[in-house]
Amino acid sequence: MQKNTRDINGVNWDDLRYFLAVARTQTASAAAKRLNVDHTTVARRIRELEASLATVLFEKSRSGGFALTSEGQRLLSYADTIETTVQSASEQFTGGAHSLSGHVRVGSTEGFGSFFLAPQLARFAQAHPDISIDLLPVPHFVSLSKREADIAILLERPERGQYVHTKLCDYQLRLYGTPSYLESHPFPEKTAEMHGHAFLNYVTDLVFSPELLYLDRAIPNAKANFCTTSIVAQYHAALQGTALAILPCFMAEPDPGLVAVVPEQISITRHFWLCCREDLRKLRRISALWDYVRQAAEINRPLLMGEVSIMAFPPP
């Protein structure tokens, strides 16, 4: 007599799909949409999984959705590994017989994710409609170890952990202001004499990486009367013509409303790192997106370094 999926240790292995969807989306409705089922089905399957394991996996609230408990966090690690193993096995048997499919979550710094990756990944998604992509452009580090993303673009190379990583690209930052600001505020020839200018900056005690403290190094004693945790907010504030900001060239150069100020004196080069969990790297959808992002960065080196203002796109 054939056993059903619940006979082995009382766990229905299919319930783990529902568990992973809820853990990743944090709501039953979003998980239901991803799984193409009714949200009541998702809630029921989670209750059944909790009953079979005799534990509570989620703290549930109307305002906060589904938040993993400590037991849920433990199960997430196992369920994620099971999913990756099944996907890898499936790809080994199907080979190239099927089109690329599945889900990929990409984490990135806020500016790069919003201004560079978003248009690039839109083209990739169009070419691969069976791959669903989550892009997380956030002003903080994305944790690969906590499964917050499958691929991450970071300011700093990971020092430890089971990751595959490579230097993605160099990029340049310059000091930018509007033409109207520069007309009304004569600019000195030496950076040491910029004390009369207003600047935009990060909130120093809240930066997630010391790599972001560009202004303090480029213009010592610069006065910033407006600070924010967001580079996108600095970009929009700079466009108001009330202050200067150090911005990545890939953000500012395409905008005719901003002009680089003394670029021969203030030009900062930084790097992005492309990282992925080692156990995911060989999945076909991960590999395809990884290669696409690398190619997009390579052909856009002139944009990233402030030499041109037009973005290029790899062939599909």
pLDDT digits (tens, 9 = 90+) for 128-174: 998 989 999 988 888 887 778 899 999 988 877 778 999 999 999 99
Q: Which residues contact 2 (CB under 8 A, 6 or more apart)?
A: none
What are the tens digits of pLDDT across the range 236-275? 999 999 999 999 999 999 999 999 988 888 899 999 999 9
pLDDT (average), residues 109-127: 96
Q: Which of these ranges, 13-27, 34-48, 177-191, has the smallest mean pLDDT? A: 177-191
pTM, two decimals, is: 0.77
Q: Note the pLDDT of residue 55.
A: 92
Residue 65: pLDDT band (50, 70, 90) is confident
Q: 74 versus 5: which is more confidently predicted?
A: 74
Q: Note the pLDDT of residue 287.
A: 92
Q: Is 233 exposed, middle or buried (0-12, 13-18, 19+ CB in 10 A)?
A: middle
What radius of gyration, in Å, describes the C-alpha atoms of the chain?
A: 23
Q: Note the pLDDT of residue 98.
A: 56
For residues 187 and 261, the answer to whether their CB atoms sit within 8 Å is: yes
Residue 8: pLDDT band (50, 70, 90) is very low
Q: Report the distance separating Cα 212 and Cα 190, nearest Å.
A: 23
Q: How many CA atoms lie within 13 A of 125 on its CB side?
A: 14
pLDDT at 3 over 50: no
Please report the domains of the chain, with CATH numbers, ordered by start residue. Answer: 15-94 (1.10.10.10), 100-316 (3.40.190.290)
Q: Which residue shows structure tokens 């997630």?
A: 208
pLDDT at 83 over 60: yes
Q: Report the distance separating Cα 2 and Cα 238, nearest Å.
A: 67
Pairing of strands 65-68, 267-277: unpaired
Token pair of 57, please? 């996996």
Q: Which residue shows structure tokens 């910033």?
A: 224
Q: Note the pLDDT of residue 305.
A: 97
Token pair of 69, please? 């408990």
Q: Note the pLDDT of residue 21.
A: 87
Residue 89: pLDDT band (50, 70, 90) is low
